[in-house]
Amino acid sequence: MDSALAVLRPPPHDPETPALSVVDMHTGGEPLRIVLAGCPEVVGPTLLAKRRYMRQHLDHVRRRLIFEPRGHRDMYGAVLVQSELPDAHLGVLFLHNEGYSSMCGHAVLALGRFALDYGLVPVPFAGSREARVNIHCPCGLVAAFVACEDGRSRGPVRFHSVPAFVLATDLMVDVPGHGKVVVDIAYGGAFYAFVSAEKLGLDICSAKTRDVVDAASGVTEAVKAQFKINHPDSEDLAFLYGTILTDGKDAYTKEPTTNICVFADEQVDRSPTGSGVTARIALQYHKGLLELNQTRAFKSSATGSVFTGKAVREAKCGDFKAVIVEVSGQAHYTGTASFTVEDDDPLKDGFLLK
């Protein structure tokens, strides 16, 4: 068979359903599937309205991208849309196995590279070592700074978060199988519950993934049932995204502190979790454990990948004292794909196995 024909000729598919063309990346092991073409127009006057529209009218696109047989239960995706903000270079909707997130740090780090390499931002001036990419996320405008050389991305990316704050500390919740557990809740573009894995009888560095998922999910469900999440700007942002289990090493040290995030429908983040690092920095600053511009390293117990984070300045979010957090990490390209649909396929919109 002619190898060129094998690559160029599309398989039999429904001509009424455009192929979904994607670029795949990962940041610290956590995947990101970026849609280049094939997604119907996502309409709405604001990004949050577009998020609601996609959930109500285009959820089959998410399922086809994220679910098996094209994806898997831990796949993550991004659909690029127009932003209503004049300073934004692009808007983005984040997709996961349960729905649509308000923020995703690993995706922002990857999208910074993608936006520069695919011409979504002006080419940096000759000799520039860094390019700025303003990304409108559902939580707000996030600035990414992409290391570059000759107009192409090279090396790490960093971003400055939306105002990150602490919603509750030392909150006691009743977790089935574990009894009373003390947790903290903080916001880094999304809300997370934080708890030392040791309080749940686990060693974060050696525990089996299934045990981590069960324990973290139990905390998430307990917090949802026993505590009201609120956000001063929008009800669309007022939900608990997941639970992050830590090694309990919150006091400052130059050594990395380890954590793992379980979010959405028992989805496990392979990276240290960018928005989770943002929230954890806000929590440590709130507790007086960190100073401004004091950098900490955060290590994923899943892959060993590392992000760094620091609080760069104080801010406000409604009545909450907040900080702007800088998170840094490295994203890599892994390939491209074109996904098609046959109209008689009973599993064309995907499925997940528990």
210: phi then psi, degrees, rounded to nearest 5: -60, -40
**Would you call 317 helix, strand, or coil by DSSP?**
strand
Picking from 21, 27, 22, the residue whose alpha carbon sits closest to that of residue 302 is 27
pLDDT surpassing 60 at residue 1: no
Confidence of residue 5 (pLDDT cuts 50, 70, 90): low
Q: What is the pLDDT of residue 123?
A: 82
Q: What is the pLDDT of residue 320?
A: 98
- This prediction has a pTM of 0.96
Mean pLDDT, rounded, for 19-32: 98
Structure confidence by residue, pLDDT tens digits, 303-354: 999 999 999 999 999 999 999 999 999 999 999 999 999 999 999 999 999 8
Mean pLDDT, rounded, for 216-231: 98
Instruction: Note if 104 is an active site residue.
Output: yes
Picking from 65, 159, 57, 70, the residue whose alpha carbon sits closest to that of residue 111 is 159
Q: What is the pLDDT of residue 128?
A: 85
Poorest-confidence range of 17-21, 49-53, 123-127? 123-127
All domains of the chain in start order, with CATH: 20-161+333-339 (3.10.310.10), 162-326 (3.10.310.10)
Mean pLDDT, rounded, for 279-298: 98
Q: How many CB atoms lie within 10 A of CB 323?
A: 27
The answer to whether the CB of 109 falls within 8 A of the CB of 159 is yes
The secondary structure of 68-129 as a DSSP string is BTTS-TT--EEEEE--S-TT-SEEEEEE-SSSEES--HHHHHHHHHHHHHTTSSPPPPTT-S
As a whole number of angstroms, the distance between CA 2 and CA 116 comes to: 35
pLDDT surpassing 80 at residue 4: no
Confidence of residue 7 (pLDDT cuts 50, 70, 90): low
As a whole number of angstroms, the distance between CA 269 and CA 261 comes to: 5
**Would you call 258 helix, strand, or coil by DSSP?**
strand
Picking from 260, 183, 265, the residue whose alpha carbon sits closest to that of residue 229 is 183
**Would you call 217 helix, strand, or coil by DSSP?**
helix
pLDDT-above-70 percentage for the chain: 98
Structure confidence by residue, pLDDT tens digits, 252-278: 999 999 999 999 999 999 999 999 999
Structure confidence by residue, pLDDT tens digits, 237-254: 999 999 999 999 999 999
Q: Which two tokens stand for residue 179?
A: 């009894």
The secondary structure of 7-52 as a DSSP string is HHSPPS--TTS--EEEEEEEETTEEEEEEEE-PPP---SSHHHHHH
299: phi then psi, degrees, rounded to nearest 5: -110, 135
pLDDT surpassing 90 at residue 103: yes
Q: How many Å from the N-terminal Cα to the C-terminal Cα in the chain? A: 39
Choose the catalytic residue: 39, 104, 148, 317: 104
